[in-house]
Structure 1
């Protein structure tokens, strides 16, 4: 996946005209504007930041930048169709939905550059455009992942040592290690919600259990379950990027793909593929089901989860911000086949562990 940054050096009076033109002509959103105007007193009151003096303060110079994701035509169409479909589904957490803005093919990118040069030339007839210089640079997702190396270090959750591949720390006696690098999929274990799930797994998982992880992200919960003695893990996620991330993490931790089966599917969907997967989970239920997602999705999942569990099976749910905890509690309590065993809290986040009666 390639991101292309296009920047224009111009004048303050030109940047807003350019931004409006780019949106009207190409529907390009999210432009960055740098100028010397600074913040008004009212704007300064609304943020917490150290504002550095701008290099071009007072001289009228400004720059406008925007980012384009470059994809082949078929991939572009498929991405937009997938996102459009997900936005029609109220059970999907849209804060994690794939990008659908500013996606263009190589040919379209060349058109945009040509169009931008022509527009600047025309603008020069009625406003000051300054240098009017256009520069282009690009980066790939892997560059963003490498940037994490300065910030992500080994840490412990219960008896688990979670460490990036570039660090050499070894587990202490009684611990086991999970090697996990930050990437484009969520879940390194640092966030409170993942920690709560890992601690609950450590407490309730028994050797030989089969585990279902709904919304697996990086696969950290399933990997931890296998290292704790689970017989097998099956997992779902909506994001196709998850497939590559999980495969890499399984390889890094010496886990065979046959022990961790991943399905890119919305288990709450009405498509034939979703119904078929749901039926398979119900036919061979699990001892443990995990869902580290968001409260509205957990509420929607709750009536379905008991059919995925064996008798006395455990349902671990997390990703629940404090304001939504009562909503999830009521959903679990209203499900007659479930009883809440435990509610754990860390910071603003809650996790519930329930048992199938």
Structure 2
């Protein structure tokens, strides 16, 4: 079905209040967009990160009376009569298909390719992971996933056991298995992530070597040669006592989902038990790796 878009330009400090006003005037959804097309990165815990110049965009049903919606918005103290806005008709699209068409095979490191399940692989001789992210996070397009995949590609995983803590789509665990790991264990709090990981493992022919657990189901004393956790800085700090015991002595740890400005705080939480490597950075994100003492 077609939609109508109403766009208001404001500043970050007023964006959320105007977003609420758009919802009250009949919008079915509201998004915030940088006026200058600057991407917004993952916010800090509890933070809504907005730009200095922000477009607040309300999406309305095509049958909505936009004159009435605008009249209601004119009563808002931040807007007033004749406030500046732009109304556009949006064409109807199959957004899932459009996303699929723009998701291309990607190379990480020397050997590894992540390939959408609906596209042909670019190199039959490479290590190819066929991925359908489904309802779970993890396609390789985000810098944190890219950092983790490149790290795994650079390791000798032959015969090793790998734990993917916060497995999402299963991309890291499956990549580890395709890179030579004998066994991988995926842990996630979201049942949809467990299902997506299972489906992707079957698609890649490694389901028999991938164990998947919700946190309350994981076995006691679980350990691995390599542990990777691509989540967020807050949980990485809070769960440090739990994550730190997962690698065996001399085992490797890889952490991401961390903004560069958060790296030192995460390092501090793990420094006592790990010999840490220099922090690797990609755009505003970073990866922290180390060896269990």
User: What TM-score do the two structures reach when normalised by structure 1?
Assistant: 0.56
Match of 2:117 among 165, 172, 182: 165
- Displacement of 1:243 after TM fit? 2.5
1:179-228 residue CA offsets vs partner (Å, 9 max, x unmatched):
11242210011111011111111223431111111100000000000011
Q: Is the 8 A contact 1:170 1:177 kept in 2?
A: no
Aligned to 1:263: 213
Q: How many residues align?
A: 228
Distance 2:249 2:29 in 1: 55
Distance 1:297 1:32 in 2: 29
1:301 aligns with 2:239: yes
Match of 1:347 among 277, 283, 287: 283
1:221 aligns with 2:172: yes
Distance 1:186 1:171 in 2: 25
Rg larger in 1 or in 2? 1
Match of 1:325 among 263, 283, 291: 263
Distance 1:318 1:59 in 2: 45
1:29-67 residue CA offsets vs partner (Å, 9 max, x unmatched):
x7459xxxxxxxxxxx933599xxxx99x983559xxxx
Distance 1:18 1:327 in 2: 38
Q: Is the 8 A contact 2:162 2:226 kept in 1?
A: yes
Aligned to 2:15: none
Distance 1:223 1:166 in 2: 18
1:315 aligns with 2:253: yes
Aligned to 2:161: 210
Residues 59 and 255 of structure 1: is their aligned pair in 2 closer, same or farther, counting only changes over 3 Å?
Answer: closer
1:274-295 residue CA offsets vs partner (Å, 9 max, x unmatched):
3x63xx352x421011100001
Runs of 4+ in 1 over 3 A off after TM superposition: 16-22, 30-33, 143-147
Residues 49 and 302 of structure 1: is their aligned pair in 2 closer, same or farther, counting only changes over 3 Å?
Answer: closer
**Structure (1 or 2) with the greater helix fraction:** 1
1:41-98 residue CA offsets vs partner (Å, 9 max, x unmatched):
xxxx933599xxxx99x983559xxxxxxxxxxxxxxxxxxxxxxxxxxxxxxxxxxx
Secondary structure of the residue aligned to 2:277 is: strand
Distance 2:103 2:267 in 1: 33
Distance 2:106 2:100 in 1: 14
Distance 2:192 2:186 in 1: 14
Name stretches of at least 5 consecutive residues in structure 1 with no aligned partner. 8-15, 23-29, 34-44, 64-142, 266-273
Q: Is the 8 A contact 2:191 2:214 kept in 1?
A: yes
Residues 20 and 156 of structure 1: is their aligned pair in 2 closer, same or farther, counting only changes over 3 Å?
Answer: closer
- Displacement of 1:146 after TM fit? 3.8
